[in-house]
Chain A
Amino acid sequence: MIEPIIKISNLCKSFGGTKATNDVSFELKPGEALGIIGPNGSGKSTLINLISGFVKPDKGQILFKGINITGMAPHKIVNLGIARSFQMSRPFYNMSVFKNLIIPISSPRARKLRGGKYGDLDEAAIHLLEEVGFERDSQVPYKEAGALPHGYLKRLELARCLALEPDIVILDELFSGMSMSEIASVVPLLERIKKEGKTLIMVEHRLTELFKIIDKIIVLNFGMKIAEGLPRDVMTQDEVTSAYLGSEVKTGA
């Protein structure tokens, strides 16, 4: 039996009165891809913030490769191998796009994994950008990041994650704000990342595309995990459809 790469148990987090995450547990094996869905405000981003250390849980435990990372500083978690993207993609506005990538590429983790070839960093950055769909020969990688259209920003977010060569990639609503063709160009990349053995956690509202990539799915509502399993099984459950279609909420399973 394969050890889970990440194991989350009984995670809780409240902001004032709102229980943003309420007793959530799950585990993932290396190379698995998990989708997290749920209506707006159901606590998807909070769950990601908890895993990546940006928010400290009130209760519960997160084990990553057997290491207890609960409440650890976010930069340490990154250096262990969990990279995340942000829902609101804010680039480093005053830097050109490829310079935006220099920061993750020359980060402690990336330097350790890639070796210290400092001179090649620019090249590596351009290469990464190409991988996420920036045309190499265009001017785009040299433009100021503040001027990028939304779809590009999202892909820059993705590139920032990949630059860290993480074991787990967490993507918060990567597809939102991307055009159909942009999504179409990113999906094969994500599939390849999965094939390389990386573990993926994706928060998404775009279900059709999500289901092409992921192996299993978790549905959150009001901070609670209301369903877990294979995508097509889960989507037919009553509770899930009612959460999405907005009928009365049943409490307790």
Chain B
Amino acid sequence: MVTNFLIYGLVNSAILMLSAIGFSLTFGLSGVANFAHGAMYLTAGFIAWMLINYLGLSPLVAMLLTVVLMGILGALIYRIILMPVRGIVLSEVISTFALGVALIEFFRWKGFTSFDFSLPPFVKGSIEIFGVTIDYQRLIIIGIALIIALFLWYFTHYTNTGLALRGMAQDEYTALSIGIESDWAAMLSLGLGAALASVAAVAILPLGIISINLGYEIFLIALAVSVLGGLESTLGLFVGSLILGYAMVIASTYLGPQWGQVVYLGAIVIVLAIKPSGLFGKYKELEERV
């Protein structure tokens, strides 16, 4: 029982972290709160599905291709939709929000709503750990979440590109003056964010069917994890997903499945109200340069 709880809590945490990582990265690097994050996740799922079922590609190839395609799409979205309104927070939010809703509702209209829409797992089958049966896909999700977190941390702290991007996010003008081009950086961060959203999609979606409302849910989950951990903090992302992951499992086991959503929505509201910088965020009230 306890091991069951521990393991499934861990799986859930990994799912949350993987879902949130793209959103958090984009926000941390370019300051864009990508409200279309969930829509990207959903789109990735459907693209992978179509590549497999219409073009008959092998699942692995289809999934890799999806990640690449989505990365390009993310960059294009920056070029076409975000660049004209860059810097105007309201317009950035509205544009990504509108795009997200348009994508999600487009799939709904096209009738992508049935049990046929699901992705195959990477590896079928399951294994028993400490007396708990767990399928390989869930283990793979934990693995991918860890690898990506490590990669990101390395990327933003030790590679030139990553450092440049972080510099950008911290002080646009200074970064500009030492030759880091802001549009390039932001485009890259959106592309990366979209690619990560699709990694999450192809890894997580095989656990169930691709349901349209995931488009909204994933965004809210990403928001909850990032807000709790502190927007733009990698460590926060990690801890935030663990807390929320276990909290959701506890709530839905003891209170009923409908409480899972209450947990992450409640987390957004409560954290913003009480400690808006989250657990590890750097936001300080008015302590900016005057």
Contacts and interface: CB of A to CB of B under 8 A. Distances in A.
A86 B287 CA distance: 15
Contacts, number: 10
Interface in A43-77: 45, 49, 54-56
A245 B202 CA distance: 62
B123 interface: no
A148 to B, nearest CB: 21
Q: Which of B286, B287, B289, B290 has the most chain A CB within a 10 Å cutoff?
A: B290
Give the interface residue-count category, chain B: under 10
B233 to A, nearest CB: 15
A155 B287 CA distance: 26
Contacts of A54: 286, 290
A56 B285 CA distance: 11
A54 B286 CA distance: 7
Contacts of A45: 289-290
Nearest to A52: B290
Interface in A70-120: 86-87
A174 to B, nearest CB: 15
Nearest to A48: B290
Contacts of B289: 45
Contacts of A56: 287
B167 to A, nearest CB: 15
Contacts of A49: 290
Interface in B263-290: 286-287, 289-290
B228 to A, nearest CB: 24
A197 B290 CA distance: 28
A157 B32 CA distance: 32
A45 B286 CA distance: 15
Interface string A170-186: 00000000000000000
Nearest to B286: A54
A165 B247 CA distance: 55
Nearest to B285: A56
Interface string A141-176: 000000000000000000000000000000000000
A56 B284 CA distance: 11
Interface of B: 286-287, 289-290
Given A45-B289, A54-B286, A56-B287, 4 more contacts: A45-B290, A49-B290, A54-B290, A86-B290
9 contacts: A45-B289, A45-B290, A49-B290, A54-B286, A54-B290, A55-B287, A55-B290, A56-B287, A86-B290
**Minimum-distance CB pairs A-B, first 4:** A49-B290, A54-B290, A55-B287, A86-B290
